[in-house]
Structure formats: C-alpha cells, structure tokens
Amino acid sequence: MSKKISLRVVNRNFDVNVDEKFAPFLESQISKDLNADGNNDIVALLQAYVKKSQEVFIQERKIEAILKKFEE
C-alpha cells in the first residue's frame, strides 16, 4: 500500500506516493526540515536537501568505519 504525502513549494502543491511504512518517517522529517502545513520557498527546499545529504554522508562514513573494523 502507498500513502500520499503533500508539500507546497513556491505556491504549488506536490504530491508523492510512498510506502505506508515509510510515510510516518518522511512526514516527521518534512516537519523538522520544512513547513509541512504551509508554503516553502526554493531556498528552504535546497537547505533541507543539503542537510539530508550531509546526514547521509556522515552515516556512510560511520558505516565504512564499522566495516573496516570487521575487515581487520
């Protein structure tokens, strides 16, 4: 099953369908990084993207460090 998540960016509504198990997590993250109930500008969207990219970068470095320990 999927669930529709809506976000308003530059006065346009965007709907995405995501897995219903993933939806609560995505809604929580959107609420933290963007205005979930109102309009968002392009700068806010870009900042949220960069923030999430940095989080992924840090997680990947941590995973690599853990995997390296298993290789030793």
Instruction: List beta partners, residue 19.
Output: 2
Q: pLDDT digit string (tens) for 18-64? A: 999 999 999 999 999 999 999 999 999 999 999 999 999 999 999 99
pLDDT for position 47:
97
Alpha-helix residue ranges (DSSP H) falling in the chain: 23-33, 42-71
- Per-domain residue ranges of the chain: 2-71
- Taking the CA atoms of residue 37, residue 48, residue 40 and residue 11 in that order, the dihedral angle to the nearest 10 degrees is -110
